Amino acid sequence: MLEGIEEVRAAKRGKTATFTGEAISGMDEDMLAVILGPTGNLRAPTIRVGKTLVVGFEATMFSEFFEV
């Protein structure tokens, strides 16, 4: 799923994080802690926008990509 992704934008409990480069290609533990939910699946919603993967919901983050 991360093939071709240059940036991961993630939301968890109202906080957002951005991951790029080595964090994505190396499957950084900090990134995994944010993008995976308690069951081990990706947080919902997970949407690919160009070369960015948007994981989880936070209104301000979403407004950067979509009209909310």
| Mean pLDDT of the residues in the chain | 93
pLDDT at 68 over 80: no
Q: What is the CA radius of gyration of the chain?
A: 11
pLDDT tens by residue, 21-31: 999 999 899 99
Euclidean distance between CA atoms 21 and 7, whole angstroms: 7
Examine the pLDDT at 38 and tell me if it is beyond 80: yes
Percent of the chain with pLDDT strictly greater than 70: 99
Residue 48 confidence (pLDDT) = 96
Complete edge-to-edge strand list for the sheet that includes strand 52-55: 15-20, 7-12, 52-55, 46-49
Residues forming a β-bridge with 36? 42
Tell me which amino acid residue 24 is. I
The runs of H, that is alpha helices, within 1-68 are 22-25, 29-35, 59-63
Which pTM value belongs to this model?
0.89
The ranges assigned to domains in the chain are 7-63
